[in-house]
Amino acid sequence: MSFFSKVFGGKKDDKGPTASEAIQKLRETEDMLVKKQEFLERKIEAEMMIIKKNGTANRRVSIQALKKKKRFEKQLQQIDGTLSTIEMQREALESANTSSKVVQTMKLAADTLKTAHQHMDVDQVHDMMDEIAEQHEAAKEISDAISNPVAFGNDIDEDELEKELEEMEQQELDRELLGTHTPAGDQLPDVPATVPVPHKPKQTVADEDDDLKQLQEWAT
């Protein structure tokens, strides 16, 4: 706080720049120093042109140009060192700013989670889950009861149904068996596949004697 601020009652608790503001200032300083570097490099190049042009022929001009060149190079070297320092400081500040934001976000998430759990009790949650399970079981029992036709068909004896089914099957079997024995008048016989051989009448003993007698007469 300056002397005038103390005398005229200036603010005592002035807040410093934020991390983002400080990083921005460092970047602006870097840009300014880079431009200064480019300016000095052009100056050094110009003095080198003078030295090359005059050489030893115009020693006084060449020496003056060489002195300026040395001075510009010294300033350039200082700016290089300053830029390195500012760059490291900016990177460290950016890293710290990032870490600070991460911590703040984590703290906010933790507070939010704590607030969300503030009105929740583990035992109450377990009781609620048990109640939900009971309601699901009750709903299942109700669904099973509704889908079971307990009010219909209870007056029918299953043994009688089994007996009736057996009689129906026996009747069907009898019809199939009767269907295989059809009368001859209702169905013509199948045509044989081969030509039948004519049946030769069986010769009697008398017929054989007549044949033998005829054969003897023919021989004599």
Q: What is the pLDDT of residue 187?
A: 52
CATH number of the domain residue 27 falls in: 1.10.287.1060
The predicted model gives 51-66 an average pLDDT of 87
Q: What is the pLDDT of residue 40?
A: 93
Q: What is the pLDDT of residue 205?
A: 52
For the entire predicted model, the pTM comes to 0.43
Q: Does the residue 22 lie in any domain?
A: yes
- Say yes or no to pLDDT of 182 above 60: no
Q: Does the residue 92 lie in any domain?
A: yes
Q: Does the residue 189 lie in any domain?
A: no
Q: Does the residue 53 lie in any domain?
A: yes
Residue 106 class from Cβ within 10 Å (0-12 exposed, 13-18 middle, 19+ buried)?
Answer: exposed
Distances in Å between the alpha carbon of 187 and those of 190, 194, 195? 9, 21, 22
Q: Does the residue 75 lie in any domain?
A: yes
Q: Does the residue 66 lie in any domain?
A: yes
Nearest residue to 79 (alpha-carbon basis) of 124, 40, 129: 40
Question: Dmax of the chain from CA atoms?
Answer: 191
Which residues span the domain enclosing 70?
16-104
Give me the percent of the chain exceeding a pLDDT of 70.
Answer: 71
More confident residue, 171 or 211: 171
Least-confidence region, from 18-27, 87-96, 158-167, 193-202: 193-202
Q: Are 86 and 33 in contact (CB under 8 A)?
A: yes
Q: Does the residue 32 lie in any domain?
A: yes
Least-confidence region, from 67-76, 117-126, 175-184: 175-184
Apex 209 CA angle, 207 and 210, nearest 5: 65
Cα-trace Rg, the chain: 63
The predicted model gives 72-91 an average pLDDT of 92
Q: Are 23 and 94 in contact (CB under 8 A)?
A: yes
Residue in the structure block whose two tokens are 């069907």: 172
Residue-wise pLDDT tens digits, 19-57 = 888 889 999 999 999 999 999 999 999 999 998 888 888
The predicted model gives 58-87 an average pLDDT of 91
Q: What is the pLDDT of residue 126?
A: 84
Q: How far apart are the first and last CA of the chain?
A: 182
Q: Does the residue 190 lie in any domain?
A: no
> How many independent structural domains does the chain possess?
1
DSSP string computed for 90-108: HHHHHHHHHHHHHHHHHHH
Q: Are 69 and 77 in contact (CB under 8 A)?
A: no
- Tokens read off for 185: 């008048």
CA–CA gap between residue 15 and residue 22 (Å, rounded): 13
Long-range contacts of 184-192 (CB under 8 A, 24+ apart): none
